[in-house]
Homo-oligomer: A and B are copies of this chain.
Amino acid sequence: MPRNQQILLDNRPEGEAQASNFKLVETDTPALADGQVLVRHHFMSLDPYMRGRMNESKSYAQPQPLGQVMQGGTVGEIVESRNPRFAVGEKVVGFGGWQQYSVVDANLPGVLRKVDTSQVPLSHYLGAVGMPGVTAWYGLVKLIAPKAGETLVVSAASGAVGSAFGALGKARGCRVVGIAGGPDKCAYVRDELGFDDCIDYKVHSDVKSLSAALKTACPQGIDGYFENVGGMVLDAVLLRTNAFARIALCGMIAGYDGAPLPLANPSLLLINRIRLEGFIVSEHMEVWPEALAELGGLVASGKLRPRESIAQGLAAAPEAFLGLLKGRNFGKQLVQLA
């Protein structure tokens, strides 16, 4: 059996996450039992939600256990199989964690899904045609439920979720405005992703300034907002919401390190009769087939051109993850393992 490099959560962050919270170890992969397969990971996914699980306190998921392999999504290929449903060489998406190989009891429903790489590159099954894409789909279709002509805004617009949200919103005839950090990301959001406009939050130092920029970019006000970051961005968006706006609350990365960030003026939720809903896409598995079908079509047709930041080798994962939390990635953050 091959040797397997793994990254464990060694200790929990106090305040900002650090590379020293992680530990790289090497073990033997165990021999397969009946029904199991060995997956060699080609790519692993780095996602903001992982930061929340590094804390001790229970969030919506159990905390990531100390001393165990960091959990996360992976794509790879079957390199050994004792399960008749999976053949060596088949490509699969799963939840293999921060390691080069995983042993999977492939009879458990949903743990491995075979994917077709003829039209969609393997790595995109961790992004636009995977969990982040379905996250955008659920928030847009099930919570915001826009009408054609409405104005939608998404924060972290150049990321895996934001870029999918933009393509899905444009497909429904909406005006879609992104918020992203820096001129390069904003140019990509406008020019390659086809958003109607993109605001660089880094040139706005306060809520008033950002809110004025939103007013210019959204002359008809904001009907739907997909929230990935929280903090000042949410405060500014709320000031521009129309009556009966809908907010899909997916992430609040701005508050993941340290003290919670307050919401400055919650009475706007009442004044504008807003419906806001927090969600986790893994609790809505019933939408995945429909969502993945639409997302795969958008990628295959070139209407959604997801960008990826790819770190090389497992040892690069902690720094890439910390960079993601600071917005240093550009598009979906992956680590290539094979």
* Chain B positions within 8 Å of A250 at CB level: 270
* Chain B positions within 8 Å of A274 at CB level: 277-278
A271 within 8 A of B: yes
A208 CA to B279 CA, complexed, in Å: 26
* Chain B positions within 8 Å of A263 at CB level: 262-263, 266
* Chain B positions within 8 Å of A265 at CB level: 260, 262
* Chain B positions within 8 Å of A261 at CB level: 266-267
Instruction: Tell me the A255-281 residues at the B interface (CB within 8 Å).
Output: 255, 260-267, 269-280
CB of A236 to closest CB in B, whole Å? 14
Beta-carbon contact of B278 and A60 below 8 Å? no
A255 CA to B263 CA, complexed, in Å: 14
A243 within 8 A of B: yes
Beta-carbon contact of A267 and B255 below 8 Å? yes
A251 within 8 A of B: yes
CB of A63 to closest CB in B, whole Å? 12
A59 within 8 A of B: yes
A144 within 8 A of B: no
Determine the residue in chain B with the shortest Cβ distance to A279.
B273
Which of B266, B267, B278 meets A270, CB within 8 Å?
B278
Determine the residue in chain B with the shortest Cβ distance to A253.
B267
Tally of chain A residues near chain B (CB < 8 A):
31
* Chain B positions within 8 Å of A260 at CB level: 264-267
Determine the residue in chain B with the shortest Cβ distance to A273.
B278
Beta-carbon contact of A270 and B251 below 8 Å? yes
Beta-carbon contact of B271 and A278 below 8 Å? yes
A146 within 8 A of B: no
A60-B243, A60-B272 given; A266·B252 CB < 8 A: yes
A272 CA to B270 CA, complexed, in Å: 20
A264 CA to B249 CA, complexed, in Å: 16
A290 within 8 A of B: no
A263 CA to B274 CA, complexed, in Å: 15
A273 CA to B280 CA, complexed, in Å: 7
* Chain B positions within 8 Å of A234 at CB level: 266
* Chain B positions within 8 Å of A283 at CB level: 273
A263 CA to B273 CA, complexed, in Å: 17
* Chain B positions within 8 Å of A230 at CB level: 266-267
CB of A62 to closest CB in B, whole Å? 13
Determine the residue in chain B with the shortest Cβ distance to A52.
B271
CB of A140 to closest CB in B, whole Å? 16
Determine the residue in chain B with the shortest Cβ distance to A231.
B266
A190 CA to B262 CA, complexed, in Å: 33
Which of B266, B272, B278, B280 meets A262, CB within 8 Å?
B266
CB of A146 to closest CB in B, whole Å? 17
Beta-carbon contact of A269 and B262 below 8 Å? no
* Chain B positions within 8 Å of A255 at CB level: 267
Would you list 7 pairs from A and B whose C-beta atoms are within 8 A, ordered by A residue?
A60-B243, A251-B270, A260-B265, A260-B267, A261-B267, A262-B262, A275-B275
Interface residues of A (CB under 8 A from B): 59-60, 230, 234, 243, 249-252, 255, 260-267, 269-280, 283
